[in-house]
Amino acid sequence: MKVLDQRHLPDERPATMDEKGKRVFIFPAQVTGFWRNLRTVTEIVLVVFFLVLPWIKIGGHQALLLNIGEGRFSIFGLTFWAHDAPLIFFILAFLTIGLAFITAVWGRIWCGWACPQTVFIDGIFRRLEYLIIGSHVQQRNLAQAPWDVKKFFKLGVLWTLFIIVSLIIAHSFLAYFVGADRLVEMTQHNPGQNWTIFIIMAFLTAVFLFDFGWFREQFCIIVCPYGRFQSVLIDDDSLTVSYDTVRGEPRKGSVKAGETEGDCINCYKCVAVCPTGIDIRNGLQLECIGCTACIDACDEVMEKVEKPKGLIRYATGNALKGLRTKWLRPRVAIYLVLLVV
């Protein structure tokens, strides 16, 4: 198994891929700080919301039900049928434009804070790894160690928990499409009586287990199209997780004669905590999901070396250049008009 060399990241390809196209595994370090705490609270709220919402009734109907088989859709008290498809189209269009607006203003805040991929991996699966195996160093060592009783036991326990969590997620996901009450009823009968739903549930469990337990950041980097769209949606006035080059450079170890050393001590802590294996100091990259882990990591280091925090922070490209940020600009105005209309 190849693991990421944090101090020698490739320039010509994603860090999670070697020169032959094979996967390089990432074991991000744990981080503490303001943003980490805020993300933890956010993840708990979102997971609880996802699990509880199917059981909430509004006007006698499930709060959110997308019953494709019956062609009935209940959305927070409003009921739509298959012949109301144009209305559903407008709802989807509103959500799409809303996401474009959010990205134009706040960058990939969706990816780092609310995307199910991030919420479940960072909020549940990775926490289970820290609990069962230990730190990122212990995880890396175990992954590279030969198979023995200890490795078999730890990974066995870990993946058993992964399967249980994936089953819960799959059942909760199905509740949005078949109805929570109907789902409970089906679980009390022999699977043979509901073969179609049972097969779908098993398939979803396998998909979630594969994605959240193993595939992980590869989905964000390779599969998800949103990461590619961000290059079109984001500009120098978008708020993103950014490294202050003016303040940080030249970093420690690369200072030339006559230059004044910047605040970056070149500790690579920002790389060690990154879940997609990038160096934020190289600028905005498609692989960056805006999770803020590097902000907390850098702030912790700056505090230790008695330098101001914020070397890595939320900032716009223009703000880092000393220019005024234009929050209301043509693309944002267009998105707002479309949302209102």
Is the pLDDT score of 77 beyond 90? Answer: no
Closest CA to 124 of 93, 166, 160: 166
How confident is the prediction for the chain on average, in pLDDT? 93
pLDDT-derived band at 289, boundaries 50, 70, 90: very high
Is the pLDDT score of 5 beyond 80? Answer: yes
In a domain, 177, yes or no: yes
In a domain, 266, yes or no: no
Which pLDDT value is given to residue 8?
Answer: 87
- Residue 320 near residue 246 (C-beta atoms within 8 A): yes
286-289, Cβ contacts within 8 angstroms, sequence gap of 24 or more: 286/221, 286/227, 286/228, 286/230, 286/231, 287/14, 287/15, 287/217, 287/220, 287/221, 287/227, 288/108, 288/240, 288/241, 289/108, 289/111, 289/112, 289/115, 289/118, 289/220, 289/227
pLDDT-derived band at 85, boundaries 50, 70, 90: confident
In total, the chain counts a number of residues equal to 341
Is the pLDDT score of 69 beyond 90? Answer: no
135-141, Cβ contacts within 8 angstroms, sequence gap of 24 or more: 135/29, 135/30, 136/27, 136/28, 136/29, 136/30, 136/272, 137/27, 139/27, 140/3, 140/27
Q: Which residue has the higher pLDDT, 192 or 126?
A: 126
Residue 100 has φ and ψ, to the nearest 5°, of: -65, -40
Structure tokens at 106: 């706040």
Determine the structural domain holding residue 116 and report its residue range: 34-227
Is the pLDDT score of 231 beyond 80? Answer: no
In a domain, 249, yes or no: no
In a domain, 51, yes or no: yes
Measured distance CA(305)–CA(150) in Å, rounded = 39
Which pLDDT value is given to residue 91?
Answer: 83
Which pLDDT value is given to residue 225?
Answer: 86
Structure tokens at 156: 């066995």
How big is the chain by its Cα radius of gyration, in Å? 23
In a domain, 43, yes or no: yes
Q: Ranked by mean pLDDT, which of 70-79, 106-115, 220-229 comes out on top?
A: 106-115
Is the pLDDT score of 115 beyond 90? Answer: yes
pLDDT-derived band at 210, boundaries 50, 70, 90: very high
- Burial classification of residue 102, based on how many CB atoms lie within 10 Å of its CB (0-12 exposed, 13-18 middle, 19 or more buried): middle
Q: How many structural domains compose the chain?
A: 1
In a domain, 305, yes or no: no
Helix H, strand E, coil C: the string for the chain is CCECCCCCCCCCCCCCECCCCCECECCCCCCCCHHHHHHHHHHHHHHHHHHHHHHCEECCEECEEEECCCCEEEECCEEEEHHHHHHHHHHHHHHHHHHHHHHHHHCCHHHHHHCHHHHHHHHHHHHHHHHHCCCHHHHHHHHHCCCCHHHHHHHHHHHHHHHHHHHHHHHHHHHHHHCHHHHHHHHCCCHHHHHHHHHHHHHHHHHHHHHHHHHCHHHHHHHCCHHHHHHHHCCCCCCEEEECHHHHCCCCCCCCCCCCCCCCCCCCHHHHCCCCCCCHHHCCCCCCCCCCHHHHHHHHHHHHCCCCCCCEEEECHHHHCCCCCCCCCHHHHHHHHHHHC
pLDDT-derived band at 199, boundaries 50, 70, 90: very high
pTM score, two decimals?
Answer: 0.93
Structure tokens at 40: 């933890």
Which pLDDT value is given to residue 80?
Answer: 81
Q: Give Cβ neighbours of residue 40 (< 8 Å, ≥ 6 apart).
A: 123
Pairing of strands 61-62, 78-81: unpaired
Lowest mean pLDDT, pick from 22-36, 208-222, 268-282, 327-341 = 327-341
Lowest mean pLDDT, pick from 31-35, 166-170, 259-263 = 259-263
In a domain, 129, yes or no: yes
Question: Average pLDDT of 98-126?
Answer: 95
In a domain, 188, yes or no: yes
Q: What percent of the chain is predicted at pLDDT more than 90?
A: 72
